[in-house]
Amino acid sequence: MPIRARPSKDRSLEEILKHARAESERAVEYEKDVELTKISVGEDGPIGLVVFGDPHIDSSGRDINLLERHLQVVRERRPYCFAGNIGDVRDNWVGRLERLYANQTITTSESWKLAEWMFKYIKWSWLIKGNHDCWSGGNDPLDWICRQSDVGIVRDAGVRIEFTHPNGQATRLHARHDFPGNSIYNPLHALKRETLYGHRDHILVAGHRHIGADAGDYNASGAFQMVRVSGYKVSDSFKHAMGFHAKPLHPAALIIVDPDEPDTSRARAWCAPTVETGALILDDMRARWKAKAGSRKRRAGKKKA
């Protein structure tokens, strides 16, 4: 008499293979999207990419008034300003660093309210999770807040985005919480290293170190802009303890992109000295571009007549 197969909690080989094949397909699809994610730009002419530095929104040393002013700049220019966040939304102390909560006046639950306020204030195109954010692990309330606020792209550590313009051109942005490599002499060393050995993009942006810097350069692919954003944590006990010098250039950076310029032009993508100044320049550039576009349409109409 044949022995009847007994029930088992384990999956059969066929079930395991089906699961493994589907998992592999998802992994391959994910890696393709991570390599270069595309965002369509609806507006012709020059646009602004505003990269917000580390907010540390629950820290007693952050400048929330400056953060809100920069959020307002983006809100007023939403159709042609795309906002991204370089990470470290909260202090989110864990492990031995949890002792630092004793110095904070914002509770953990209150910090989530501030984070939700920030993400609902404007439309965010992308968010990178910094090391402070990733300390939450897989069950991170920040993921829920981003879904509720309709954040376009959420990635751990870094993202590459291709902004496709109506004129057929594309602008590539490579943003990371930080790039590998360091130099005490050059705060942009890690970004320059990426242009030599990594991807060739129009814009490279990093944060993490709470110092700011910017520079433009050329490689075989054309001109590119490098920016390190300093963030909004202006008072930091660790900075004082270690004797670090403040370099508060670019708490956030407004990068002006002109898709009508060739890749070899330094005017293709460049960083304004401040968000506020950049907003005024961008508004003026768009007004001039619209005037020229209107003039071209009128001339074309006369020719048809």
CATH code of 262's domain: 3.60.21.10
**5 within a domain of the structure (yes/no):** no
For position 245, what pLDDT does the model report? 83
**168 within a domain of the structure (yes/no):** yes
150 three-state secondary structure? coil
For position 301, what pLDDT does the model report? 65
**299 within a domain of the structure (yes/no):** yes
For position 7, what pLDDT does the model report? 85
181 three-state secondary structure? coil
Enclosing domain of residue 112: 40-304
**202 within a domain of the structure (yes/no):** yes
**205 within a domain of the structure (yes/no):** yes
For position 298, what pLDDT does the model report? 63
For position 8, what pLDDT does the model report? 87
**217 within a domain of the structure (yes/no):** yes
Tens digits of residue pLDDT in 271-301: 999 999 999 999 999 999 999 987 766 666 6
How many domains does one find in the chain?
A: 1
**Cα radius of gyration (the chain):** 23
For position 72, what pLDDT does the model report? 98
Cα–Cα distance between 224 and 125 in angstroms, integer?
21
Give every CB contact of residue 95 below 8 A, 6+ residues apart in sequence. Answer: none
**237 within a domain of the structure (yes/no):** yes
**111 within a domain of the structure (yes/no):** yes
Which segments of the chain have a pLDDT < 70? 1, 296-305
